[in-house]
Structure 1
Amino acid sequence: MANIRKRLKKDGTTSFMVCWRDPKTGGSQGITVITEIEAQTLKRLLDANGQSFEIAQSALLTNQARVPTVAEVVQEHIDLLVRPSSGTTKTYQVMLDLHIRNVIGHIPADKLDYRHLSHWVKSMAAKGKSPKTIHNVHGLLSAAMNTAEMLRYIPRNPCRGVQLPSVDKAEDEAMFLTHTEFNMVLDAMGERYKTFTNFLVMTGTRFGEATALKVADVDLLSKPPTVRINKAWKRDGQSQYYIGATKTGAGKRTIGINPALVDLLVPLVASRPADELLFTTPKGQRIIHKLFWHHYWVPAVRAAKAQGLKKSPRIHDLRHTHASWLIQDGVSLFTISRRLGHASTRTTEQVYGHLMPEALQAGADATERSITGFVR
């Protein structure tokens, strides 16, 4: 039987060599192809035709004249991604296998139309998939169809214009704490993680960013003191965690830190090696979100509720709370956007724009001016 050998090139890309034994000469043969799907196809044809490359090549040419199926297009798109993380590749592969392959995967790419896609979207909703999941899977399919368009399998991406369920919720997802409410949670927090909790609310950093910080990322002697956010915890294809890039390119940023936070960080920075994690567990290990949530955050919120807290904040709501405090102090959306690492101010405005006091007051003042002509 033929076999496939994966090769890593010097430039970081991969290729695949299909090897077999020629039935006439008995000698070893091999040919290199770019994608894994091409390698699997050639291997299958060789195995089905007695390892005859002539017959396999003829069948391959015939196969190439056929428009690939939706599943084949998505698989090729995944294979052609330039240096994706293994975690991203695994996520896309799961999307393909769970939501595409056995539903619309058999349809030739040039036959996929609006009707197919509408029924597909409705079927995911009927199975209880969340709007966010449907958007994510549709996004993968649409990106794959863009690839198919570039490869000239299809004249136009059929995913354009397909209606998707709204991801808007009946009430705001973000929760904002007052200073008093935050202090109620902080007072109940375990002593080990009070500085960490203060850091989250005073910087607005994401949990994965804060827990990936090294001692070297903090500069308490600069004017103003700063912390450099340029990495975050990621998960690879084997569900193992590693430190990688931030969520977006805009996520790489330098944040000015206030004097009160500087005082809290001094003991964590002083006389420690630069490459050590800034925040750790008592054993010096990474702070795991699930464990922190279960053993510290939930008990702290529960204790705060016993003292009168009416809200049920998530850890991520400390990031929202940070933004709300800046807005209340009159900080511009542009400054807040840069501090939070948003790709654009539009994202910041969508989440926090309704909190802008000057905008609320301006609307009320304009309404008052407009009604002076008829109100007695």
Structure 2
Amino acid sequence: MASISTRTKKDGSKSYMVRWRDKKTKTAQGLTVATLTEAETLKRLLDANGQSFEIAQHAILTNEKRPPTVGEVIQEHIDLLVRPSSGTVKTYQTMLDLHIRPVVGHVPVDKLDYRVIAHWVKSMMAKGKAPKTIHNIHGLISASMNTAEMLGYISRNPCRGVQLPNIEKAEDEAMFLTHAEYRLIMEGMGERYKAFTDFLVMTGTRFGEATALTVADVDLLSKPPTARINKAWKRDGQNQFYVGPTKTGAGKRTIGLNPALVELLIPLVASRPGKDLVFTTPTGGRIVHKLYWADYWVPAVRTAQAMGLTKSPRIHDLRHTHASWLIQDGVPLFTISRRLGHASTKTTEQVYGHLMPEALQVSADATERSVTAFQRL
């Protein structure tokens, strides 16, 4: 059987070597191709035709006369990604294999149109897939069709203008804690992670960002003291964690630290190497979300509920709580958006806009003036 080996070039890109034994000459042969799709196609044809390169080559040339399928184009798009993380490749491959190939993967790419994509969207909704999931997979299809457009397979990306399910979250999906409610939770929080939990609610950082914070990222001597949020924990293709970029480009940001938080951070960063994590487990390792949630967050919430808390907040609701406290204090929406690392103020407004009493009052006052004006007519 033919085999495939991967070669990594100096620039980080990859090529693929297909090796087989010629059935006539009985000698080892090899051919380097640019993409994994080409390599797998050649291997499949060689194995199906007794390792005859002539027959395989003829089949490839014949196949090239027909337009590629949607599945083939998306696979080629994945293979052409420039230096993607293994986690990204695995995610895209899973999307393709589970949610695209079985439904529209066989469709010739030049036959992919609004009707076909609308059918795919409806099939995903019928399976009960979340709107966010449908948006993410549609994003992969659309990006692949952009690649298909650049490669000359199609003249226009058919994903443009396709209606997708609404992903705007209902207001009650984001839970906000009052200062008193947060204090109830902290009364049941284990001493080891009190400072870490306070950091989450006082900065609005995501869990993966806060747990990736290093001593070098914190500057307590600047005016004002700051923390640089420029990385987060990610999961690779083997489900192993590594430090990578923030969720979005806007996620890289510098946030100001309030005096109370500075006091909490001083003993955590003093006389420690810059590469050390600020917040760690007792053994100095990464704080694992699942363990923190099960061993500290849930017990603290249950203790608070026994003392009168009526809500069941998630860890991520500390981020929402931070934003709500800023809004209540009159901080502008743009400033909040930058502090949270949102890609745009639209995201901030969709989640927190209803909490802005001043804006609500301005709208109500304007409506009242209009009503008063036409009632006088």
TM-score interval for Structure 1 and Structure 2 normalised by the shorter chain: over 0.9
For residues 325 and 340 of structure 2, the distance between their equivalents in structure 1, rounded to whole angstroms, comes to 13
Indicate the SS of the match to 2:373: coil
Indicate the SS of the match to 2:154: coil
Indicate the SS of the match to 2:303: helix
Shift of 1:356: 2.1
Q: Any idea what the Cα deviations from partners look like across 1:65-88, whole Å, max 9, x if unmatched? A: 111111111111111111111111
For residues 336 and 127 of structure 2, the distance between their equivalents in structure 1, rounded to whole angstroms, comes to 39
Q: Any idea what the Cα deviations from partners look like across 1:204-259, whole Å, max 9, x if unmatched? A: 11000000111121111111111111110000000011111111111111111011
Q: Where does residue 153 of structure 1 map in the other structure?
A: 153
For residues 260 and 170 of structure 2, the distance between their equivalents in structure 1, rounded to whole angstroms, comes to 38
Shift of 1:160: 2.2
For residues 162 and 373 of structure 1, the distance between their equivalents in structure 2, rounded to whole angstroms, comes to 43
Alignment of 1:200-219 (within 5 A): 200-219=200-219
Alignment of 1:46-61 (within 5 A): 46-61=46-61
Indicate the SS of the match to 1:283: coil
Q: Any idea what the Cα deviations from partners look like across 1:140-194, whole Å, max 9, x if unmatched? A: 1122122112212122222222222222345432111111111111121111111
Q: Where does residue 126 of structure 2 map in the other structure?
A: 126
Count of matched residue positions in the alignment of Structure 1 and Structure 2: 376
For residues 238 and 325 of structure 1, the distance between their equivalents in structure 2, rounded to whole angstroms, comes to 39
Q: Where does residue 100 of structure 2 map in the other structure?
A: 100
Shift of 1:51: 3.1
> RMSD over aligned Cα, in angstroms?
1.7
Alignment of 1:261-340 (within 5 A): 261-340=261-340
For residues 139 and 84 of structure 2, the distance between their equivalents in structure 1, rounded to whole angstroms, comes to 16
Q: Any idea what the Cα deviations from partners look like across 1:3-39, whole Å, max 9, x if unmatched? A: 2221000000000112233444444332211100001
Alignment of 1:1-376 (within 5 A): 1-373=1-373
Indicate the SS of the match to 1:354: helix
Moved more, 276-285 or 22-31: 22-31
For residues 338 and 164 of structure 2, the distance between their equivalents in structure 1, rounded to whole angstroms, comes to 30
For residues 247 and 134 of structure 1, the distance between their equivalents in structure 2, rounded to whole angstroms, comes to 19
For residues 305 and 50 of structure 1, the distance between their equivalents in structure 2, rounded to whole angstroms, comes to 70
For residues 170 and 276 of structure 2, the distance between their equivalents in structure 1, rounded to whole angstroms, comes to 43
Give me the TM-score of the superposition, normalised by structure 2.
Answer: 0.95
For residues 257 and 266 of structure 2, the distance between their equivalents in structure 1, rounded to whole angstroms, comes to 12
Instruction: Letter of the 2:98 partner, please give it.
Output: L
Instruction: Letter of the 2:205 partner, please give it.
Output: T
Cα distance 1:374–1:179, how it changes in 2: closer, same or farther (>3 A)? same
For residues 337 and 168 of structure 1, the distance between their equivalents in structure 2, rounded to whole angstroms, comes to 17
Instruction: Letter of the 2:269 partner, please give it.
Output: V
Indicate the SS of the match to 1:103: helix
Moved more, 251-260 or 230-239: 251-260
For residues 126 and 353 of structure 2, the distance between their equivalents in structure 1, rounded to whole angstroms, comes to 34
Indicate the SS of the match to 1:156: coil
Indicate the SS of the match to 2:103: coil
Instruction: Letter of the 1:267 partner, please give it.
Output: P
For residues 261 and 310 of structure 1, the distance between their equivalents in structure 2, rounded to whole angstroms, comes to 27
Instruction: Letter of the 2:204 partner, please give it.
Output: G
Q: Percent identity over the alignment?
A: 78
Indicate the SS of the match to 1:373: helix
Q: Is the 8 A contact 2:171 2:351 kept in 1?
A: no
Q: Any idea what the Cα deviations from partners look like across 1:273-314, whole Å, max 9, x if unmatched? A: 222111111121111111111111111111111211122211
Instruction: Letter of the 1:149 partner, please give it.
Output: E
Provide structure 1 residue ranges, at least 5 long, that are not aligned to the other structure. Answer: none
For residues 343 and 326 of structure 2, the distance between their equivalents in structure 1, rounded to whole angstroms, comes to 18
Give me the TM-score of the superposition, normalised by structure 1.
Answer: 0.95
Instruction: Letter of the 1:318 partner, please give it.
Output: L
For residues 123 and 338 of structure 1, the distance between their equivalents in structure 2, rounded to whole angstroms, comes to 37
Moved more, 96-105 or 257-266: 96-105
Shift of 1:2: 2.4
